[in-house]
Structure 1
Amino acid sequence: MYYLLYPVLLQGQSMYAVNYTFKDGLPSDEVYWIKEGSDGLLWVGCDKGLVSYDGVSFKKYKAPKARNKSITGIFEDSKGTIWCHNFAGQIYYIKQGELHLFEAFEAWEKAAKGNVIASLVLENDILRIESAFNIWLYDIATERLQKLGDKYFLLNNGNKIFLNGITAPYSEINEIKTPYYCPGCFFIPKSSRTRGHEPRMGFTKSQTLELLYVYNYFGRGWQSKKGRINEKGIKVPFIFLIQKDTLQALFFPPEIAVYGTNFIVNKVKIIDKNTLYLSTSEGLFIWNMKNNKVQHFFKGKVLSDSFFDSEGNLWLSSLGKGLFFVPRLALRVQDKLTKNKVIYQIETDQHGNVLMGYDDGSIIYWDPSENKVLLEKAFPIRKRIKNIIYNEKEDNYWITTEKKTHLFDPLKLEILPKRKLGPAICDMAFDNLGNVAAAMGHGANILANSDKIKLPESWKEKSSWESYQRQFKGGSSGYVVLVPGGNRTYSILFQSVPEYTIWVGTVSKLLYYSKGVPIEVKDKKGAKIIATCLEPMNDSTFWVGTLEDGLYCIQNRAVIKHIRIQRGISYNEIQELKINKNILWAVSTSGIIRYDLTTDSLTIWDNGNGLPSWNVFDIAFIGDKIYAATKEGLVSMPMDLEMNVAKPVMKMTQIMVNDSIYPIQSTYQLKSDENTLKIQFRGISFRSQNNFRYEYRLLGVEENWNNVSSASNIVNYPDLSPGNYTFQAVFVKADGSRSEPLNIAFLISAPFYAEWWFIILSTVFVILIISWFYKRQINKIKAQNEEKLERSRLERDIRISELKALKAQLNPHFMFNALNSIQDYIIQNERELASDYLGMFSDLMRLYLNHSQEGQLSLKEEINSLKLYLELEAIRMDGDFSYSIQMDGKIDAYEMEIPTMLVQPYVENAIKHGLFRKKGAKQIEIYFEQPDPSFILAIIRDNGIGRAAAEKHKKHQFNRHKSFATAANNSRLELLNYGRNSSIKAEIVDLEEFGIAKGTEVRISIPIKRESN
Structure 2
Amino acid sequence: MKFIFILLYSCFLFAQQPSHLLIGDEELAGVNIYSVIQDVDQSIVLSTNNGLYRYNSLTFEALDSQLIGDQSLFGLEKNSKGIIYCYNLSGQIFYIKRNKLYPFFTVPKELISSVLQIKIDTDDHVLIYCKKLLRVSPEGKFKVLYTSTNNEPSSLAKSKSGKIYFYDSQNVFAVDGEKVTFQYKIAYENNHLLKPYTTNSGSINFHVNTLARSYNVVGNKINEVIYKTPTDKTALYNFFASESKPIVWFASTKNGIYSFALNGKPLFNNQLLFKDYFISSYLEDSEGNFWLTTFGKGIIFIPNLNVIEYTNNNLLDKDDLLRITKKGDELFFGGVKGNIYNLKQNKIQLVQSNFKKIEFLRYMPHADVFFVNGLVYDNGLKSMLFDHSFNKYDAFQNDKNAKIRFVTRDGLYSTSKSNWEYENENYNLRSYAVLEDVQSKTIWLGSSTGLEVLKNGKFIKITHQNQPIFCTSIIKVKNQIWVASSFGVLVYEKDKLIKIINKKSGLLANKAIKLIVCDDVVYISSNEGLQQYNLKTKQFKNFTKVEGLLSSAVFDFEVVDNSVFIITSKGLQKISFNDINSEASHLPKIKIAEILINGFESVNSRTFFKPNENTIEFTLFAISHKYRDQLKFQYQLEGYDAKWYTSDFSSNKIRYSKLTDGKYTLKLRSVYNDFASDQISTYQFTIESVFWKTKEFIIIAVLLLLGLSYLFYHLRIRFVVAKKNEEIEKEKYKQELNKSKLVALKSQMNPHFIFNALNSIQEFIVLNKKELASNYLADFADLMRSYLQHSQEDTVSLSDEIETLDLYLKLEKIRFEEDFVFYIQCDTSIDKEQTYIPSFLLQPFVENAIKHGLLHQNRAKKLSVSFEKLSTYSIKCEIQDNGIGRTASAKLNEKRKYQSFATKASQNRLELLNQSAEDKIELQIFDLYDEQQQSLGTKVIVTIPIINK
TM-score norm. by structure 2 comes to: 0.69
- Correspondence for 2:413: 446
> 1:16-95 counterparts in 2 under 5 A?
16-26=18-28, 29-95=31-97
- Correspondence for 1:534: 474
By how many angstroms is 1:637 displaced?
Answer: 1.0
Q: Structure 1 residue aligned with 2:528, among 572, 577, 590?
A: 590
Q: Structure 1 residue aligned with 2:331, among 345, 354, 365?
A: 354
By how many angstroms is 1:541 displaced?
Answer: 2.7
One-letter amino acid of the counterpart of residue 130, structure 1: Y
Whole-angstrom distance in 2 between the partners of 1:718 and 1:93: 43
1:620 aligns with 2:558: yes
Aligned residues: 787
- Correspondence for 2:816: none
> 1:600-999 counterparts in 2 under 5 A?
600-645=538-583, 646-650=585-589, 652=591, 682-700=621-639, 710=649, 723-733=662-672, 737-738=676-677, 740-746=679-685, 756=695, 760=699, 764=703, 768=707, 775=714, 779=718, 786=725, 790=729, 793-794=732-733, 797-798=736-737
Q: Structure 2 residue aligned with 1:493, among 423, 429, 435?
A: 435
Instruction: List runs of 5+ in structure 2 lacking aligned partners.
Output: 769-780, 795-799, 801-823, 825-831, 841-912, 914-949
Whole-angstrom distance in 2 between the partners of 1:775 and 1:558: 88
Instruction: Quickly say closer, same or farther: Cα 1:142–1:745, change in 2 above 3 A.
Output: farther
Q: Structure 2 residue aligned with 1:481, among 414, 426, 446?
A: 426
By how many angstroms is 1:784 displaced?
Answer: 7.8
Q: Name the SS for the 1:571 alignment partner.
A: coil
- Correspondence for 1:136: 134
| Deviations, residues 160-209 of structure 1 (Å, cap 9, x unaligned) | 755443x655689999997954343423xxxxxxxxxx637353355463
CA contact (8 A) 1:607 1:689 kept: no
Aligned-residue CA RMSD (Å): 5.6
Whole-angstrom distance in 2 between the partners of 1:503 and 1:386: 22
Whole-angstrom distance in 1 between the partners of 2:540 and 2:433: 24
1:333 aligns with 2:332: no
Q: Structure 1 residue aligned with 2:383, among 389, 396, 414?
A: 414
Of residues 506-515 and 155-164 in structure 1, the stretch that sits farther from structure 2 once superposed is 155-164
CA contact (8 A) 1:42 1:54 kept: yes
CA contact (8 A) 2:41 2:623 kept: no
Instruction: Quickly say closer, same or farther: Cα 1:149–1:722, change in 2 above 3 A.
Output: farther
1:182 aligns with 2:186: yes
Q: Name the SS for the 1:330 alignment partner.
A: coil
Instruction: Quickly say closer, same or farther: Cα 1:365–1:410, change in 2 above 3 A.
Output: farther
CA contact (8 A) 1:725 1:745 kept: yes
Q: Name the SS for the 1:724 alignment partner.
A: strand
One-letter amino acid of the counterpart of residue 336, structure 2: D
By how many angstroms is 1:134 displaced?
Answer: 1.9
| Deviations, residues 49-71 of structure 1 (Å, cap 9, x unaligned) | 22222322222212223443222
Whole-angstrom distance in 2 between the partners of 1:62 and 1:809: 114
Whole-angstrom distance in 2 between the partners of 1:169 and 1:726: 56
- Correspondence for 1:204: 198
One-letter amino acid of the counterpart of residue 359, structure 1: V
- Correspondence for 1:520: 461
Q: Name the SS for the 1:320 alignment partner.
A: strand
> 1:176-575 counterparts in 2 under 5 A?
180-187=184-191, 199=193, 201-205=195-199, 207=201, 209-216=203-210, 238-242=213-217, 248=222, 250-253=224-227, 255-256=228-229, 258-260=231-233, 262-269=235-242, 271=244, 275-281=247-253, 283-290=256-263, 292-295=265-268, 296=270, 297-300=272-275, 301-335=277-311, 336=313, 338-349=316-327, 351-360=328-337, 362-369=338-345, 371-373=347-349, 375-379=351-355, 381=356, 384-400=357-373, 405-411=374-380, 413-419=382-388, 422-430=389-397, 434-442=402-410, 444-449=411-416, 479-482=424-427, 484-485=428-429, 488-498=430-440, 500-523=441-464, 525-538=465-478, 540-547=479-486, 549-566=487-504, 571-575=509-513
By how many angstroms is 1:550 displaced?
Answer: 0.3
One-letter amino acid of the counterpart of residue 11, structure 2: L
Q: Name the SS for the 2:733 alignment partner.
A: helix
CA contact (8 A) 1:28 1:46 kept: no
CA contact (8 A) 1:726 1:746 kept: yes
Q: Name the SS for the 2:509 alignment partner.
A: helix
CA contact (8 A) 1:29 1:323 kept: no
By how many angstroms is 1:312 displaced?
Answer: 2.0
- Correspondence for 1:149: 147
One-letter amino acid of the counterpart of residue 623, structure 2: I
Whole-angstrom distance in 2 between the partners of 1:176 and 1:206: 24
Q: Name the SS for the 1:593 alignment partner.
A: strand
- Correspondence for 1:876: none
| Deviations, residues 567-605 of structure 1 (Å, cap 9, x unaligned) | 999712122121112321121111112212232222332
By how many angstroms is 1:16 displaced?
Answer: 3.2
Instruction: Quickly say closer, same or farther: Cα 1:452–1:298, change in 2 above 3 A.
Output: closer
Instruction: Quickly say closer, same or farther: Cα 1:597–1:19, change in 2 above 3 A.
Output: closer
- Correspondence for 1:911: none
| Deviations, residues 884-928 of structure 1 (Å, cap 9, x unaligned) | xxxxxxxxxxxxxxx9xxxxx9xxxxxxxxxxxxxxxxxxxxxxx
Whole-angstrom distance in 2 between the partners of 1:57 and 1:593: 30
Whole-angstrom distance in 2 between the partners of 1:545 and 1:354: 24
- Correspondence for 2:930: none
Whole-angstrom distance in 1 between the partners of 2:595 and 2:459: 68
Whole-angstrom distance in 1 between the partners of 2:51 and 2:539: 48
Q: Name the SS for the 1:640 alignment partner.
A: helix
Whole-angstrom distance in 2 between the partners of 1:16 and 1:286: 10
CA contact (8 A) 2:491 2:499 kept: yes
| Deviations, residues 437-465 of structure 1 (Å, cap 9, x unaligned) | 333334x2334436799xxxxxxxxxxxx
| Deviations, residues 203-257 of structure 1 (Å, cap 9, x unaligned) | 335546312223237xxxxxxxxxxxxxxxxxxx7423357888x462414x326
Of residues 731-740 and 557-566 in structure 1, the stretch that sits farther from structure 2 once superposed is 731-740
Q: Name the SS for the 1:566 alignment partner.
A: helix
Of residues 791-800 and 7-16 in structure 1, the stretch that sits farther from structure 2 once superposed is 791-800
Whole-angstrom distance in 2 between the partners of 1:675 and 1:185: 76
By how many angstroms is 1:617 displaced?
Answer: 0.6
Whole-angstrom distance in 2 between the partners of 1:270 and 1:803: 125
One-letter amino acid of the counterpart of residue 443, structure 2: I
By how many angstroms is 1:73 displaced?
Answer: 0.9
By how many angstroms is 1:562 displaced?
Answer: 1.1
Q: Name the SS for the 2:229 alignment partner.
A: helix
One-letter amino acid of the counterpart of residue 216, structure 2: L
By how many angstroms is 1:551 displaced?
Answer: 0.4
Whole-angstrom distance in 2 between the partners of 1:374 and 1:28: 37
- Correspondence for 1:863: none
One-letter amino acid of the counterpart of residue 94, structure 2: Y
Q: Name the SS for the 2:504 alignment partner.
A: coil
By how many angstroms is 1:969 displaced?
Answer: 14
One-letter amino acid of the counterpart of residue 100, structure 1: Y
Q: Name the SS for the 2:297 alignment partner.
A: coil
CA contact (8 A) 2:530 2:543 kept: yes
CA contact (8 A) 1:89 1:116 kept: no
By how many angstroms is 1:536 displaced?
Answer: 2.1
CA contact (8 A) 1:16 1:612 kept: no
